[in-house]
Structure 1
Amino acid sequence: MDARSQQLLKQIPFLRRYARALTGTSGRGDELVGLAVPVALSDPDAYGLARHERGPLYALLNRLFDAEEMRPALPESGHPMELALVQLPEMERRLFLLVSLEEVGCADAARILGIGLEEARRRMAAAQEALRESLIASIMIVEDDAIIAFDLAETVRTMGHKVCGTATTMDDAIDTARSCQPTLALMDLRLAHGDSGITTAQVLRQTSELPIIFVTAFGDELTRRGLEHLGPVIRKPFTREQIERAITQAVFAPSREAQLPLLAALAGHEGSPS
């Protein structure tokens, strides 16, 4: 193997990581790298192999991706960050992947994408803001104790999420869910007027996959009735740390239907990627 081929071989793990994120799947990403390798070896100087540069290779992957008329695959995991990424405008998506996943400087990323530095900074800021907004959960609180409801709402807001509505009865909860379309509900088991949080959760689940966290002094009731699948339980009295941890797990967990690995950009990595 000659020196240029050896240099390209060292870049393959990084190229695979970017290509997989670019295409949305491991298989298509590896296919894209397979297309890039002979092109890079045909003109090693143009693709920075002698200078140990990765930028021209990233640009090549982008060109091949466009030439093949590929589109990023919809994320199979259902993870909120992956969904948010695929919904970004394509230039912003690629810029975010280069800067945040590949740790390319903004100026170098701008050159790879063929845009000016100021435009790259503006687009990167827009991408970050769009992702931040996409990851803000809209949370419904179903609790008939006003003090506890207030404490839950303050915890939600401190985390940067939104309280879309509060309810004290089953009818209130159903109406609130219908009007504000929450991404998560915090629900007591014993509600006003003798209403049941379990029945409320079952009614809500008939029309949606709304994640529910039960905050209750009667956590054994779910287990006794074999209804643990309705949602996790936080027992009263609770701490804010418990609520925060449960909300984070619910908001950022993949869907129940798929538990696939997250993008390297989300899960993080140590050392060279594989």
Structure 2
Amino acid sequence: MTIAAEIAPHLPYLRRFARALNGSQAGGDSYVVATLEALVADPSTFPRTVSARIALYRIFLKLWSSMPVNMVHPNTAVIRAGAVERNIEALTPRPRQAFLLRTVEGFALEDVAAVLDIPIDEASALIEQAGREIAEQVATDVLIIEDEPIIALDIETLVQELGHTVTGIARTHKEAVDLVARKRPGLVLADIQLADGSSGLEAVAEILQSIDLPVIFITAYPERLLTGDRPEPAFLITKPFQPEAVKAAISQALFFDRRSERKVA
């Protein structure tokens, strides 16, 4: 099997990981493209002592560490540079990588260590450090757009455990827009398919016409939103989700929120 065939199933998820690290679709995808170009230029760099997935992420992170952290699309760079620089001081890159690999990408602890090419105890320490740093982030108001009551309750509990306030839970497009009109949140967590058959994507699109804020999408089919055919969400949670994945996504979304440059001391 060729390297291209081996890594193809993992590319949508590597793009998700890259965007979470970088904070934008354009910036994250740029790193993924650079990774693929490096593999084409020198296939011998693809390690054969580990699985294709671990090998792909390992190569990506080695390249990530060797290039500027703010390599993003020019239009995005102007908007986000200040917040990113300030937030990097609050959450160091290496623990963030380990935390995202474990919680968002679902790597086992030993696989996180393999991706980062470090001992397991060091990987564990990095994840614990990230947890401490994340807990120190400033709280915000959160709108949940979710039509399943049990899932909405689970998300509300997780949000509150992180120290945030839930401004409301919307089950439909109209409810979401109305709730934002009454109290503007600092973050939105949105399902894709809502109770009345409306789209969470459309609800968020309308919300973003009146307020600029980070959004995390929730879906059972993330590959449908990671096709490269249209603008895609930088932050994505896969159903069924793990609590740690929700917490990590919230942390990353707020990490790259441009308004956070007013929040971080």
Q: TM-score, normalised by structure 2?
A: 0.49
Structure whose CA Rg is larger: 1
